[in-house]
Amino acid sequence: MIGHQRVRDAEGSAVRLLALSDGVFAIAMTLLALDITLPSGLDPARFEQALGDVMPNVWAYALSFVVIAAFWRGHHQIFRYARAVDGTVTKLGLLSLGLIAMMPFPTTLLAEYGDLSRSVAVYSGAVAAMGATQLALMVAMWKRPWLSSAALPDPVARNDVADLASTVLVFAVAVPLAFISPTGAKLWWAVLIPVKFLTGRRDKRLRAATQQLGA
């Protein structure tokens, strides 16, 4: 369509959406740490016990911080060259931010009740939902090149889609797995480590090849 090639963003909606996103991500990351507290005035024995009791909260915080940071990085890559957004992109972006803002809740469940199937399932489902929403957002921007100042090469975009889809798949599978074994579901999350390593290496190769072709 002719209008697609002449997109105007007089209100700066792309910039405003990205600014809102940074704020939501920052607040969500900050709220994760609120559950990490120790009572004051403890004697040495009670201090050691309280410190041990709070360690699940520290672990859950570290995990969710890494998860949210990964989604923040992916969000910025999606909008790296965006010069405008349409209604679909805006709705998907807001839905994604809404799920990010909710992340402290499943993190608390995981910290306090990490041995219960439902808590692990809720956490896994929350991450899968965030991944699915960001995946839809990524595809929406990829298929709307007129919204960006530079088109993302198809091989790079496909690798990005595969990378995010792997996150959705692993955490979605962990939902039913949690009702069989909560510990097994949490160990299953580690499958993403080699997957992310491989997709990350491929991304670097594809982007390097793209830069050489454009030089």
Q: What percent of the chain has pLDDT over 90?
A: 54
Angle at 31 (CA atoms; ends 115, 190), nearest 5 degrees: 45
In a domain, 4, yes or no: no
Mean pLDDT across 4-33: 78
Q: Which residue has the higher pLDDT, 2 or 9?
A: 9
Residues contacting residue 33 through CB under 8 Å, at least 6 positions apart: 61
**pLDDT band of 23, cuts 50, 70, 90:** very high
pLDDT > 70 in the chain, percent: 92
Listed in sequence order, the residues at least 6 apart from 2 whose beta carbon sits closer than 8 Å to its beta carbon are none
Local structure of 7: helix, strand or coil: coil
* pLDDT at residue 135 is higher than 60: yes
- With vertex at residue 76, the alpha carbon angle to CA 74 and CA 78, rounded to the nearest 5 degrees, is 70
pLDDT at 159 over 70: yes
Q: How many domains does the chain have?
A: 1
Contacts of 121 (CB under 8 A, 6+ apart): 174, 175, 176, 178, 179, 185
Whole-angstrom distance, CA of residue 155 vs CA of residue 170: 23
| Residue found under tokens 């993403």 | 192
In this structure, the number of other CB atoms found within 10 A of the CB of residue 167 comes to 25
Alpha-carbon gap, residue 128 to 173, rounded angstroms: 9
pLDDT value of residue 10? 47
In terms of residue numbers, what domain contains 208?
A: 9-214
120 belongs to a structural domain: yes
43 domain residue, yes or no: yes
What span, in angstroms and rounded, lies between the C-alpha atoms of 142 and 136? 10
Q: In which band, very low, low, confident or very high, does the pLDDT at 149 lie, cut at 50, 70 and 90?
A: confident
**167 confidence band (pLDDT: 50, 70, 90):** very high
Predicted confidence (pLDDT) at residue 113 exceeds the cutoff of 90: yes
Q: Is residue 2 part of a domain?
A: no
Joined together, the tokens standing for residue 143 give 């298929």
Say if 54 falls within a structural domain.
yes
As a whole number, the mean pLDDT across the chain is 87
Q: Is residue 81 part of a domain?
A: yes
pTM here is 0.88
Q: What is the mean pLDDT of residues 1-8?
A: 46
Instruction: Let me know if residue 161 belongs to a domain.
Output: yes
45-91: pLDDT as tens digits: 888 888 888 898 999 999 999 999 999 999 988 888 888 888 899 99
How many Å separate Cα 196 from the centre of its chain? 13
Kindly tell me if the per-residue pLDDT of 172 is higher than 90: yes
- 1, part of any domain: no
pLDDT at 168 over 70: yes
Amino acid at 78: I
Give the pLDDT of residue 7.
52
Q: According to DSSP H, which parts of the chain are helical? A: 13-32, 44-78, 87-101, 104-112, 117-142, 154-178, 182-188, 192-214
Query: CA 111, 26, 57 angle in degrees (round to 5)?
Result: 15
